[in-house]
Structure 1
Amino acid sequence: MHFSNYNEILAFIAVAKEGSFTKAAAKLGVSQSALSQTIRTLEQRLDLRLLVRTTRSVSPTEAGEHMLRTVAPRFDEIEAELAVLSERRLKPAGTIRISAGEHAALTVLQPKLTELLLQYPDIHVELIAENRMTDIVADRYDAGVRLGDQVAKDMIAVRISADLRWLVVGAPSYFARYPAPLAPQELTQHNCINMRLPTHGGIYIWDFAKDGKDLKVRVEGQLVFNNLGLRIKSALDGLGLAFLPEDQVRPYIEQGRLVSVLEDWCPVSPGYRLYYPSRRHPSSAFTLLVDALRHPG
């Protein structure tokens, strides 16, 4: 027998447990007459008498006792499980998978996630640092991180960092051997430290801009890495020029261990955005993570 809803059974359970139509109606927030009609409809549907009504009390029949003993506990279990789900909503939990480039993972995500994870121990984050243009939907990530001008228009994007700048730097020992470039085109005459991108195994092309003019330069050199730390270390060792995030090299410039060149060709670019599909219904854990990463500016 198919029930389109189970309100009739819940009504019977309330009356049987209370032993009174009046008390059960007050508990359910319905009129006594409406409750009586609901019970009659259930008895007609089952073709069974479930309650014995007297002028003083209401008690279950043998069939009613059986239903109360076997069916009512299942509704109690359902109610308990729904309470657990509600508690999970109120107590954020779950695993969030994020794809981000190495620089963003190190400088933006990891520092900002520390406080969140300490405050909410049931939230777990899987952060995959990879320098490729990831399809977060196909690869089953909850979110990704890219520069502001690289996020697809159909995604929700949340700013999580200030604007960024990349600088061309080299060690004083390198410039003792080679003259500093005066224009980006002259980089083709220098030993440059390259970065290999996972996508199609390509080499990153250095991007410059000045006075509204964009310029891309394909450089060459003895070293190719897919790691930020190795590129910084090689530049410090005087092995070549590197194109690196300003926040990572500015301390070395101030210490005199690196020299920045072509700064007028190195404009500020949009900062990082956390992005995710617009159709995603965010969990409480994901909402908390977005708020923790959101840039105040």
Structure 2
Amino acid sequence: MPETSPPPLPSPVAIGVTVFRPTPEQVAALLARAEAEPRRTIVFDNGGLPPEAAARLRAGGGLVLSGDGNIGVGGALDAIARAAAAAGAAQVLLLDQDAAFTPDQVSDLEAAMARLRGSHPPPAVVGPRPEAAPGRKAPAYPRRPGVPDRGGLVPVEFLATSGSLVDLAAYAAIGPFRSDFFIDGVDLEWCFRAWARGHACWMEPGTALPHRVGAGVIRLRALGIEMPRQPLFRMAAYLRNSVYAWRLPHVPRRWTMRQATYLPLQALLVWADSGYRPAVAMRLAGAVIDGLRGRLGPPKGLS
């Protein structure tokens, strides 16, 4: 955690970045971004940020936070949100270590949030349109039924945390991100909870963020299905958290029914991509059982 009280924020928006074992190129991009950004940068180090990079961030007025080892995405985002609020920020823009998002794009989201002032339900988050980085798959944000567009913004069921501008007053009312989900589904669950608690999630289609999740794409061309190729522990966490979320009252039944059809196909696609290895099938089946039994926390095989 920061050793001294930081000076007042130069902007009502703070920039929060989560990092885990960043590459030298990612560290260089993070430093360059923080130095070009007039807003306060808050970095949560889940492990692997070089000490010299942390020192350079602090010297430039940034905050560098850490926990006891890797506490996951949910825990890191909560620590960033708390630090931003304590420093006097009204909003925090969340990014992961791969995100290429410029200060001007942050301003676009600030302007979008300003257009939503006085709207009902009040905004919880505004994020950019997702795009696929080369060789990757972009997430899809389903439109929220029954809610009209407003000021060129599109109401969505959920959006990825990376690139999202979160209103901190709404965050306080909605509650923290689920640290027990650890890595996957954190954003989806929080956005559904935001809607259930009287807040809205919006996409700004006029600005875009390329997504670099996974290492390539797995495709089932016959059914038109594609998904990021992820480490097995991440797919297992995604399955576990998705199945567990079905019991949550704020997760809409329409989403549960959609996933009940789609998740088995995704699991089959991952198994086929592994060469139909029995160990992979057992791991995925075990993840479903963990979700049904509510066994959450850090996923097995995390490395």
The answer, yes or no, to whether TM exceeds 0.5 is no
Structure number with greater Rg is 1
Compute the TM-score of the two structures, normalised by the length of structure 1: 0.22
RCO greater where, 1 or 2, for CA within 8 Å and sep 6 or more? 1
Compute the TM-score of the two structures, normalised by the length of structure 2: 0.22
